[in-house]
C-alpha cells in the first residue's frame, strides 16, 4: 500500500513539474524573431533634387505609358497562376474552420432497429405440462434511439495552437499570392518594354542593312573601275550577313516575347495583338531621358521597407506556423481528456418507446495517457523543433537575400545609367558628324561612301542607346521588385 502511494505521489510530482515547465511554452505567444538590419542600403541614391520624392506602390505608372497600365490591370485580373494563388488562400481558410470545429463538442444522432434470435427453453408455464423445459428459439426486436456527445478538453492548448497554426498558414498563402503578383507585374513590364525595344531595334537594323547595301553597291562600282581591291567588299558582305542574323534574331525574339506576354495575360497567342508606340524620340533626347530616370527611383530609401516584402513576411509567418506546430507536438506527451455522454431510449416495442422506463443514459470522463507511443511522440517533437529551426534560418536568409537583391538592383542602375549617358554622348557626337558630312556630300566636298559610313556609325550609336535604355528600364523595375512594391 505504501509503495502504491509512493508511486502515485511520484507520478503527480513528475506530472506537475512537467506541466509547470512546459506551461509557458504551451500557452504563450511565440517570440518574434528579430534580425538586425543595416540602417540604409549600400548603393542608395543621394539625389538632393528629389528629397520629397514619395514612394508609390503603383510604380509602373511613373513610366507614363497608358498601354502598360492597362496591361498590368488586365494581367492581375486574368493571370491563371495568380488566380491559383488566390484560390490557395481560400483553401487555407478551410483548414482554419476545420481546426476551429475541434474546439466544439461532437454530437451524433443514433437510430437502430435489430431483430435477433436466441436459444431458449419452453417451460410448463407455456407448454401446459410439468416436465422439464424443452429447447426452443426466442425471437425479439430491439429499437434504439439516442444522442451521443464527446468533447475534448483543451487542457494543454493543443487545439487552440492548431487553430493559430492554420491561421498562420492563411497568412503564408496570402504572402505567397503577393509574391506571384509582384513577380507577374515585373515580368509584364519587362516584356512590354522588351517588345517596344525590339520594335525600335528592328527599325534601326533595317536602316543599317539598307545603308550597308548602299555602301556595298558603291564599293562594287569602284571595284569594277579598278579603284579598290576585294577586301572592303568582303568586309561589307560580312557585316550584311551579321545584320541579317541580328535582324532575324530580333524578329524571332519579338514574337516569343509577345507570346510570353499573352501567357501572362491568360490569353492564347492566336488571340493576342499588341500595338506598341515607338519611344525613340524620347530615348534619344539626352536631357529629357536624364530627368525622366532621375524621377523614377526615390533617393535615400529606408531599409525598413524590406520588412514589407511578401517573401520576407511569408518566411516570418512560416516561423510562426512551425512555432505553433512545435507546441502541438509538445502537448502529445500529456493525457487527452474527453467528456462523453449518451442519452436515449431502448425498447423491444415502438408503441411505448419514449417513456422514462425505456430511457438510457451514460456520462463519463476518459483519460488517454500516452505510454507506449512515447517514441513516436518524441520523434514528432524533435522533427517539429528542427522544422522550426529551419524556418528561422530561412527567415534570416530571406532578409539577407532581400538586401542583396535591392543593393544589386541599385548598383546595376547606377552603372547602367552611366553607360547610357556615355552612349547618349556618343550618339550625339555621331549625329553631329553625320550632319556635317551629309552637308559636305550635298556640296560635293565629301563622297557618298563617306556620308553613308558616318550614317552607319550614327545608326550603330543609336542601336546602343536603344539597347542600353532597355537595361536601365529593367534596372528600375528590378529595384521596385526588390523593394517589394506594387501591391
User: pLDDT at position 124, please?
Assistant: 45
Other CB atoms within 10 Å distance of the CB of residue 39? 7
| CA pseudo-torsion sign 131, 136, 141, 142 | positive
Contact partners, residue 470, CB within 8 Å, separation at least 6: 193, 194, 197
How far is Cα of residue 48 from the mean position of the Cα atoms in its chain? 36
How many Å apart are CA 371 and CA 366, to the nearest integer? 15
Give the model confidence (pLDDT) of 466-485 as tens digits.
999 999 999 999 999 998 88
User: What cell was used for 325?
Assistant: 506546430
The residue extents of the domains of the chain are: 1-30, 32-103+155-195+251-334+371-483, 112-153+337-369
- 3-state class of 428 per DSSP? helix
The residue whose grid cell reads 483553401 is 91
pTM score, whole prediction: 0.81
Domain 32-103+155-195+251-334+371-483 is of which CATH architecture?
Answer: Up-down Bundle (1.20)
The DSSP bridge partners found for residue 345 are 145, 359
* CA angle in degrees (0–180, nearest 5) for 68-71-77: 145
How many Å apart are CA 149 and CA 222, to the nearest integer? 105
Give the model confidence (pLDDT) of 62-89 as tens digits.
888 899 999 999 999 999 999 999 999 9
According to DSSP H, which parts of 225-277 are helical? Answer: 231-264
User: What cell was used for 23?
Assistant: 506551461
How many Å apart are CA 161 and CA 185, to the nearest integer? 36
How confident is the model over 417-434, as a mean pLDDT?
91
Contact of 379 with 14, CB cutoff 8 Å: no
How confident is the model over 314-343, as a mean pLDDT?
86
Compute the mean pLDDT over every residue in the chain, rounded to the nearest whole number: 83
Q: How confident is the model at residue 354 (pLDDT cuts 50, 70, 90)?
A: low
How many Å apart are CA 208 and CA 202, to the nearest integer? 10
CA distances from 185 to 17, 44, 69, 182, 478 (A): 55, 23, 10, 5, 11
Q: In 15-164, which ranges are E strands? A: 106-122, 134-153
How confident is the model over 219-236, as a mean pLDDT?
88
How many Å apart are CA 129 and CA 146, to the nearest integer? 43
Contact partners, residue 339, CB within 8 Å, separation at least 6: 105, 149, 150, 151, 153, 363, 364, 365
Strands 336-347 and 134-153: antiparallel
How many Å apart are CA 479 and CA 403, to the nearest integer? 11
Contact of 222 with 215, CB cutoff 8 Å: no
Q: How confident is the model at residue 193 (pLDDT cuts 50, 70, 90)?
A: very high
| CA pseudo-torsion sign 422, 423, 429, 432 | negative
Backbone torsions φ then ψ of 347, nearest 5 degrees: -160, 150
User: pLDDT at position 296, please?
Assistant: 80
Give the model confidence (pLDDT) of 19-33 as tens digits.
544 455 777 777 877
Give the model confidence (pLDDT) of 228-262 as tens digits.
898 989 999 999 999 999 999 999 999 999 999 99
Q: How confident is the model at residue 34 (pLDDT cuts 50, 70, 90)?
A: confident
User: pLDDT at position 290, please?
Assistant: 66
Predicted confidence (pLDDT) at residue 17 exceeds the cutoff of 60: no
How many Å apart are CA 195 and CA 279, to the nearest integer? 12
CA distances from 91 to 100, 172, 178, 184, 362 (A): 15, 12, 16, 22, 39
The DSSP bridge partners found for residue 112 are 144
User: What cell was used for 406?
Assistant: 535591392
Q: How confident is the model at residue 13 (pLDDT cuts 50, 70, 90)?
A: very low
How confident is the model over 38-61, as a mean pLDDT?
70
Helical axes 158-224 vs 80-101, angle rounded to 10°: 170
Of all residues in the chain, the percent with pLDDT exceeding 90 is 42
The CA dihedral of 94, 98, 99, 104, to the nearest 10 degrees, is 140
Q: Which of 283, 384, 327 is nearest to 25 (CA)?
A: 327
Q: How confident is the model at residue 292 (pLDDT cuts 50, 70, 90)?
A: confident
Question: CATH assignment of 112-153+337-369, given 3.40.30, 2.20.200, 3.30.70, 3.40.50?
Answer: 2.20.200
Size of the chain, expressed as the number of residues it contains? 487
Amino acid at each position: 500500500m505504501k509503495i502504491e502511494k509512493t508511486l502515485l505521489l511520484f507520478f503527480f510530482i513528475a506530472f506537475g513539474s512537467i506541466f509547470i515547465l512546459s506551461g509557458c511554452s504551451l500557452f504563450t505567444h511565440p517570440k518574434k524573431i528579430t534580425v538586425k538590419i543595416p540602417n540604409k542600403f549600400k548603393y542608395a541614391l543621394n539625389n538632393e533634387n528629389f528629397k520629397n520624392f514619395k514612394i508609390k506602390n503603383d510604380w509602373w505608372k511613373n513610366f507614363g505609358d497608358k498601354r502598360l497600365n492597362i496591361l498590368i490591370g488586365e494581367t492581375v485580373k486574368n493571370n491563371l497562376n495568380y488566380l491559383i494563388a488566390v484560390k490557395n488562400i481560400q483553401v487555407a481558410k478551410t483548414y482554419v474552420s476545420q481546426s476551429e470545429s475541434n474546439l466544439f463538442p461532437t454530437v451524433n444522432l443514433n437510430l437502430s432497429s435489430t431483430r435477433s434470435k436466441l436459444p431458449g427453453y419452453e417451460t410448463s408455464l407455456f407448454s401446459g405440462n410439468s416436465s422439464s423445459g424443452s429447447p426452443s428459439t426466442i425471437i425479439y426486436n430491439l429499437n434504439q434511439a439516442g444522442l451521443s456527445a464527446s468533447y475534448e478538453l483543451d487542457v494543454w492548448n493543443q487545439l487552440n495552437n492548431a487553430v493559430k497554426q492554420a491561421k498562420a498558414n492563411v497568412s503564408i498563402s496570402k504572402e505567397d499570392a503577393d509574391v506571384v503578383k509582384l513577380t507577374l507585374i515585373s515580368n509584364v513590364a519587362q516584356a512590354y518594354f522588351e517588345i517596344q525595344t525590339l520594335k525600335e531595334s528592328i527599325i534601326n537594323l533595317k536602316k543599317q542593312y539598307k545603308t550597308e547595301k548602299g555602301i556595298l553597291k558603291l564599293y562594287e562600282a569602284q571595284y569594277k573601275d579598278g579603284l579598290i581591291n576585294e577586301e572592303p567588299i568582303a568586309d561589307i558582305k560580312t557585316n550584311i550577313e551579321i545584320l541579317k542574323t541580328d535582324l532575324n534574331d530580333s524578329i524571332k525574339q519579338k514574337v516569343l516575347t509577345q507570346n510570353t506576354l499573352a501567357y501572362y495575360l491568360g490569353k492564347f497567342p492566336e488571340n493576342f495583338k499588341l500595338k506598341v508606340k515607338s519611344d525613340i524620340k524620347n530615348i534619344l533626347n539626352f536631357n529629357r531621358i536624364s530627368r525622366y530616370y532621375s524621377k523614377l527611383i526615390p533617393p535615400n530609401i529606408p531599409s525598413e521597407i524590406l520588412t514589407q516584402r511578401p517573401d520576407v513576411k511569408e518566411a516570418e509567418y512560416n516561423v510562426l506556423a512551425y512555432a505553433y506546430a512545435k507546441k502541438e507536438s509538445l502537448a502529445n506527451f500529456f493525457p487527452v481528456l474527453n467528456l462523453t455522454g449518451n442519452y436515449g431510449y431502448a425498447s423491444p416495442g415502438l408503441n411505448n418507446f419514449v417513456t422514462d422506463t425505456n430511457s438510457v443514459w451514460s456520462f463519463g470522463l476518459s483519460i488517454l495517457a500516452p505510454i507506449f507511443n512515447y517514441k513516436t511522440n518524441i520523434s514528432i517533437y524533435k522533427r517539429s523543433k528542427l522544422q522550426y529551426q529551419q524556418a528561422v534560418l530561412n527567415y534570416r536568409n530571406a532578409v539577407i537575400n532581400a538586401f542583396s537583391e535591392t543593393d544589386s538592383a541599385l548598383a546595376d542602375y547606377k552603372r547602367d545609367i552611366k553607360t547610357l549617358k556615355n552612349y547618349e554622348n556618343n550618339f550625339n557626337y555621331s549625329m553631329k558628324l553625320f550632319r556635317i558630312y551629309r552637308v559636305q556630300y550635298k556640296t560635293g566636298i565629301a563622297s557618298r561612301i563617306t556620308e553613308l559610313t558616318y550614317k552607319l556609325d550614327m545608326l550603330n550609336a543609336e542601336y546602343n542607346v536603344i539597347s542600353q535604355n532597355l537595361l536601365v528600364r529593367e534596372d528600375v523595375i528590378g529595384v521596385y521588385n526588390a523593394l517589394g512594391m506594387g501591391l
